[in-house]
Amino acid sequence: MAHRWQNDLTHRDITPESLFWNRRKILAGMGGVGLGAIGGGLAQAQEAELDPNTWEEVTSYCNFYEFGTGKTDPASYAGQMTTSPWEVEIDGMVDNPGTYGFDQILSEMTLEERIYRFRCVEAWSMVIPWQGFELADLLNLAGVQEGAKYVAFETLLRPDEMPGTRYPVLDWPYREGLRLDEAMNPLTIMATGIFGKPLPNQNGAPLRLVVPWKYGFKSIKSVVKITLTDQEPPTSWNMANAREYGFYSNVNPEVDHPRWSQASERRIGGGLFSRRQPTLMFNGYEAEVASLYEGLDLTKNF
C-alpha cells in the first residue's frame, strides 16, 4: 500500500467514498450560496412562525469583546480583521489532525439555512437566519477517536487587528467548549453566513459556532482551533466568573443569573414597542435536546 504523508491528504482521501459522493456540493465562493433544504425537517414546524430580525439589527448590535465591550464596537472595528486566508486547526483525539483551509472545509460541507432563536445571557434575544453546516459533519471528517468526550474551540487572537484584546477583559484567546454529544447534535452548526450573505466580521467571520439552546456566549466567533479531548475544557466566561457562567449555560428560565432574572427576555427590534417575552426552556428546543441532560441537575449544572 502506498504511503502518504499526512499533509498530502485531502478530504477526498479521508472521507469514505460513498459518503463523499453523497454530499451535495455547494457553490464555492459564497457569492450565491447554494442552499440545501432545511435539515431533516428538524424543528421545521417550530421555526416556521419565527420572524427574523433585520440585517441592520443583527449586524449592528453585537458582542465581540475582541473589538471592545460596547454593542456597536464590533461593527465599528471588526472590519480590520483579516479573514482570508483563514485556517482552522483540528487537533487532539482525531484520526486526521491538521490545518484545514476555510475554502477546503466549505467544499466538503453542505450548507443549509437554519432560522434559530438566539438568546444572550444578558436577557436580550433575536431571531437569526443562519447559513452553515452541521458541526457533526466536520467532526466526522476529522474522525473523532474513541474516548473523546468534549470539543474545545478557540477564536483568532491577533492583537494588532483586535483592539479589545489589548485589555485583560477576558483571558484571551476567547475559548468555548461543548460536550461531544452536544457538539454532535444536529441543531449545532458552524455558521458561515446570515441572510444568505457571508458572515460579516462583527458576527464572527468567516466561521462561528451556533448552539441555539445555549446562551449566546457559547456560540464562539471566528474559530481557528477545534480540539477533541477527554477533559472538560476551560472556557472564557467560566474562567472569568464561574459563579455566574457555567460550562453548560443552557437557556433556562428557571435558573436565574445571580444578578438578574432569566425568566424573560427583550426581543431586539421594534423600537419603543420592543417586547419582553417569556424565555423558553432550552430556548424553545426542548424536544430536540432535553434528552441530553436526563438525570442531570440543571440547577447545579447551569
Question: 137: Cβ–Cβ under 8 A, 6 or more apart, which residues?
Answer: 108, 109, 110
Check if the beta carbon of residue 153 is closer than 8 Å to that of residue 177. yes
- The yes or no reply on residue 66 touching ligand MTE (CB under 6 A) is yes
- The angle formed by the CA atoms of residues 147, 148 and 152, to the nearest 5 degrees, is 165
In the complex with ligand MTE, the residue whose CB is nearer, 108 or 248, is 248
In the complex with ligand MTE, the residue whose CB is nearer, 100 or 124, is 124
In the complex with ligand MTE, the residue whose CB is nearer, 18 or 241, is 241
Strand positions, DSSP E, 94-222: 98-101, 112-119, 124-134, 150-155, 175-179, 189-194, 197-198, 208-210
User: Minimal CA–CA distance to 218: which of 86, 120, 79, 90?
Assistant: 120
- The yes or no reply on residue 64 touching ligand MTE (CB under 6 A) is yes
Minimum distance, C-beta of residue 125 to ligand MTE, in the bound complex (Å): 9
- The yes or no reply on residue 86 touching ligand MTE (CB under 6 A) is no
Q: How many residues bind ligand MTE (CB under 6 A)?
A: 16
Evaluated on CA atoms 277, 278, 283, 289, the torsion sign reads: negative
- The yes or no reply on residue 172 touching ligand MTE (CB under 6 A) is no
- The yes or no reply on residue 177 touching ligand MTE (CB under 6 A) is no
Cβ atoms within 10 A of the Cβ of 98, count?
A: 16
- Identify residues 110-129 at the interface with ligand MTE (CB under 6 A): 120
- The yes or no reply on residue 189 touching ligand MTE (CB under 6 A) is no
In the complex with ligand MTE, the residue whose CB is nearer, 62 or 228, is 62
Rounded distance, CA 53 to CA 216, Å? 16
Check if the beta carbon of residue 240 is closer than 8 Å to that of residue 121. no
In the complex with ligand MTE, the residue whose CB is nearer, 150 or 217, is 217
- The yes or no reply on residue 135 touching ligand MTE (CB under 6 A) is no
Contact residues: ligand MTE, CB under 6 A: 62-66, 120, 155, 174, 203-204, 216-217, 219-222
